Chains A and B, each alone.
Chain A
Amino acid sequence: MDLQQSTYDESFERLWSRHGYLLHQFTRRAFQQTYSGSALGLAWAIVTPLLMMALYTFVFSVVFQNRYGVMPGETRLDYAFGVFLSITTFGVFSDTFGSAPTAIASQPNFVRKVVFPLAILPLAQVLASGIRYVLTLVLLLVAVAVSGRGLPATAAWAPLLMCAVLMMSAGLAWLFSAVGVYLRDISQMASTLSLALFWASAVFFSLERVPDGFRQVMSLNPILQAIELLRGAVLWGVSPGDRPGGLVVLAIGSLGLFFGGFWTFRRLRPAFADVV
């Protein structure tokens, strides 16, 4: 046993191998925290999406009568499902923008007092909203399946696409949590950015409806591509394989954000204790 430099070591390998337990605990905690103290408890994880789905269906099939216009014979219900899927997917990002900026800054004990694998904190929050995301999507798939039209075979792409969504969220969470240690303003910036991204992610309309010129720019947004590809695969039977451009943007975006976010986090990490 040699003398070791005593300090933290935050590499990917250690995040999983050594700190798996901590990650699990914090994820569980972040997930439960949303529901703790309520009478229905964890049942809310099922009830909330069901209520939301009912609400969306009502609003977007009765009040607003709109269409994405991709699938032939698109019904009002199809549109409502599309909006629900899009908003749920975007919800993972808006959760991240909401919680990540303070994920580290609000835990000075873990920064200053113990040698703690801090990268776990933002990641656990992303995983917790990931659990909600998966639950909601399973419910949606069931609803689509029983709604009459049935699930298209392309829905098998869903896990991969959702994985890309979570990777992007994790990267953004690392980025924003690390920068949030230095700049408290990042919380305000993040909520504005979240709103801007919401409209830039084609939640209520299809990319195809966007006028030329704008469309090319917007299609470079990986979040938009994730939503677009998911809608196509889960609801309209459009295989992401037929949209290679979108798939490439999504792949580059998710890998780039994930590793870029982690790289930034590690780079900023050493000075956390000096700043917090």
Chain B
Amino acid sequence: MNQIDQSNAEGVPAHAAPVAAGKQANVVTPPEPVVRVEALTKVFQIWKSPRGRLWNSLVRSAPRDPGFPADPGMDGERTVRRERHDDFFALRDVSFQMRRGEALGVIGRNGSGKSTLLQLLAGTLRPTSGTVRVRGRVAALLELGSGFNPEFTGRENVFLNAALYGLSHRETRARFESIAAFADIGDFIDQPVKTYSSGMALRLAFAVVAHVDADVLIVDEALAVGDVFFVQKCMRWLTAFRERGTLLFVTHQAADLSALCERAIWLLDGRIADIGEAKVVAQRYLAYFNQQSSGVAGAAHVSGAAARREADARSPTVDRRSLVLACERERTDFRLYEFDPEGEAYGTGLARIVGVRVLDRESRVRTTVDGGEDVCLTITAEALVDLDDIILGWVLKNRLGQYIFGDNTYLTTRGKPVKAPAGSQVEATFRFRMPLLPRGSYVIAPAVASGDLENHVQHHWIHEALLIESTHVYVHRGLVALPMDDIRIAVSPAQPVVSVGSTG
């Protein structure tokens, strides 16, 4: 199981492939896999006593043999005495491939085998049977500050970790400034890692991983502890990384999955329950667990929906009751933080954003906003040179950097471009109804540009200018929930109608 596969799996020598493709133009040779996992199985032996485990390692078959025989008959002669252990199948017969530049998501509940799979890929665990083959350098971000020694300083850990990834001392020294800048933990870099907060440990760990020229990157749910600014930075880095490298991303949140990956694997009790397009896998995953938790079988669910549609088509609803949105408590859905002009940014620098504010209907600056309230977002920019057709815009992003909504002034000013002479200030106001957002951190990224939608130059784009904390307690499905003007529910008495769904 451990031999290195020297030949190409497809049976075509790698260098010969382009020639073959050239002769037969209609045959497209797929790029070679970077990661190939075949029939991977991991069994943890739960031993009654560690002594049995020790004895087993020392005396029984050579250590390279799988600890668990694929075929029980094979091992018959040696297991004369009954081994005192139970077998726990953490992973059963998992196979998949990844190609360069691909992002594969792994989703599953706790205990479904995600971590085991990652550890096998990273090489910290040995497979019981099956193979894991990887081309190039694998870097893994498994849990917090994974490979750090708490007694060592951040600086020492950077060198240690980089050495584990095969970087020489000289190479690490050349990159150290960049690593420290990425981590951005200031003087803590020379403190022992045991004094770090979990967020700081993550920052440093990610900074190292980002600088080791990994070909394959494995990211666990570690990012969950990062603050919104750092997670956004990581997401930008990951997006850039995917142009050259291969990413394996693990999560138990379906929304994260479709944000980062095209393909996904759903692990259920150590087996692949589904593999395919990320969006589809995420939907099936959610559907499966929703059904489980509500105790409704899938078939009944579908027929219920069908019955409702039928009922809708047949008769107008009879009994109408209005539901008023409950407003009995003091509600504060959003907490707004101050504009941070020093946030990370890019652009030509010919114009600068100098202010981002959220005002209410009476033009008062607000620090809190309710979902559904009318608000004004104003962006103020200063032109440093004469600019002809200036556009101001913004986008609201969630913790993972997904764009939720946003807008710009282009359509409004089309045909009558706004000119901004050097030194002038331009203010754009966007009035809209604040939607409801699931609890969490959000940021507004404002930008000033010139040109038109297809062809423009960004002068100043601030990645995270205004932090917004959503404290909304209702858990909505989806990334954003619109304030509902009216929600009704109706039951029509007669006939074979089974059930009536309600709006979620």
Residues of A within 8 A of B2 (CB): 5, 7
User: Which one of B33, B132, B148 lies within 8 Å of A109 (CB-CB)?
Assistant: B148
Asked if B133 contacts A5 (CB within 8 A), the reply is yes
Q: Which of B7-33 contact A (CB under 8 A)?
A: 33
A255 to chain B, nearest CB (A): 21
Tell me if A16 is interfacial: C-beta within 8 Å of chain B. no
Asked if B163 contacts A1 (CB within 8 A), the reply is no
Q: In the assembly, what is the distance between CA of A271 and CA of B141, in Å?
A: 22
Q: In the assembly, what is the distance between CA of A270 and CA of B128, in Å?
A: 11
Asked if B142 contacts A113 (CB within 8 A), the reply is yes
Asked if A5 contacts B124 (CB within 8 A), the reply is no
Asked if B126 contacts A270 (CB within 8 A), the reply is yes
Tell me if A87 is interfacial: C-beta within 8 Å of chain B. no
A16 to chain B, nearest CB (A): 14
User: Which one of A1, A110, A182, A184 lies within 8 Å of B136 (CB-CB)?
Assistant: A1
Which of B49-57, B265-273, B424-432 lies at the interface with chain A? B49-57
A5-B131, A264-B58, A274-B125 are known contacts. Are A113 and B147 too (CB-CB below 8 A)?
yes
Main DSSP-derived SS at the A contact region: helix
A3-B36, A3-B135 are known contacts. Are A29 and B164 too (CB-CB below 8 A)?
no
> Which chain B residue shows the least CB distance to A29?
B152
A6 to chain B, nearest CB (A): 4
Tell me if A76 is interfacial: C-beta within 8 Å of chain B. no
Q: In the assembly, what is the distance between CA of A28 and CA of B124, in Å?
A: 26
B475 to chain A, nearest CB (A): 33
Q: Which of A165-206 contact B (CB under 8 A)?
A: 179, 182-184
Tell me if A114 is interfacial: C-beta within 8 Å of chain B. yes
Most A CB atoms within 10 A — which of B45, B67, B121, B123?
Answer: B123
The bracket for how many chain B residues form the interface is: 35 or more
Tell me if B119 is interfacial: C-beta within 8 Å of chain A. yes
- Total A-B pairs, Cβ < 8 A: 122
Q: In the assembly, what is the distance between CA of A19 and CA of B4, in Å?
A: 22
Residues of B within 8 A of A116 (CB): 147, 164
Asked if B67 contacts A271 (CB within 8 A), the reply is yes
Asked if B50 contacts A22 (CB within 8 A), the reply is no
Residues of B within 8 A of A7 (CB): 2, 123, 126, 132
The contact string, 1 if C-beta is below 8 Å from chain B, for chain A 33-70, is 10000000000000000000000000000000000000
A211 to chain B, nearest CB (A): 37
Residues of B within 8 A of A2 (CB): 4-6, 135
Q: In the assembly, what is the distance between CA of A22 and CA of B124, in Å?
A: 18
Asked if B6 contacts A113 (CB within 8 A), the reply is no
Residues of A within 8 A of B160 (CB): 22, 25
Q: Which of B381-432 contact A (CB under 8 A)?
A: none
Residues of A within 8 A of B63 (CB): 266-271
Tell me if A273 is interfacial: C-beta within 8 Å of chain B. yes
Residues of B within 8 A of A4 (CB): 4, 133-135
A267 to chain B, nearest CB (A): 5
B1 to chain A, nearest CB (A): 8
> Which chain B residue shows the least CB distance to A274?
B44
Tell me if A112 is interfacial: C-beta within 8 Å of chain B. yes
* Chain B residues packing against A (C-beta within 8 Å): 2-6, 33, 36, 44-45, 50-51, 53-54, 57-58, 63-64, 67, 119, 121-126, 131-136, 138, 140, 142-143, 145-149, 151-152, 156, 159-161, 163-164, 166, 168-169
5 nearest A-B pairs in the assembled complex, by CB-CB distance: A114-B147, A113-B146, A3-B133, A182-B54, A6-B123
**5 pairs from A and B in contact (CB 8 Å cutoff):** A3-B4, A3-B135, A29-B151, A113-B143, A274-B45
